[in-house]
Amino acid sequence: MNTLSYKTVSIRKEDVKRDWYVVDMEGQVVGRAATKIATILRGKHKPSYTPHIDCGDYIIIINADKLRFTGQKMDQKQYFSHSGYPGGQKVITPRQLLEKKPYAVIEKAVKGMLPKNKLGRKMFKKMFVYAGAEHPHQAQQPKKLEL
């Protein structure tokens, strides 16, 4: 009677197997894509998911400049930042941000869905975003991921 069928297995960081995925953001809705990307970065899609271990996969995002929002969010949504000085509040819309930094829109969306601690910052570093269709990660042989 020593065999228990309900033993919870906790994976060690040495035993984590990471895959590489490439995501084409052309025509994808930002929020819906960001939730799936954040899930893969955290590793919650794996049966060996352990909350306190970074067991997620690497994500390469291409065509980040061709993503879309639903409704009027492209012009009505606002991103706020503050310099810390009086009167230092800055406001920018997604349309303006796409013109300046096309990679920043999807980065903000995914970063907001990850844990706000050391582990979340480590997970975020496994995401690589490129505005065009080319990326320098061919040596890792990434698999195409459909969202």
- For 24-58, write each residue's pLDDT tens digit: 999 999 999 999 999 999 999 999 999 999 999 99
Q: Which residues of 109-134 are buried (b: 16+ CB within 10 A; e: fewer)?
A: bbbebbeeeeebeebeebbbbbbeee
State yes or no: pLDDT of 147 exceeds 90.
Answer: no
pLDDT of residue 95: 96
β partners of residue 99 = none
- For 100-121, write each residue's pLDDT tens digit: 999 999 999 999 999 999 999 9
Report all structural domains of the chain as residue ranges with CATH numbers, in order of start. Answer: 23-144 (3.90.1180.10)
pLDDT of residue 1: 55
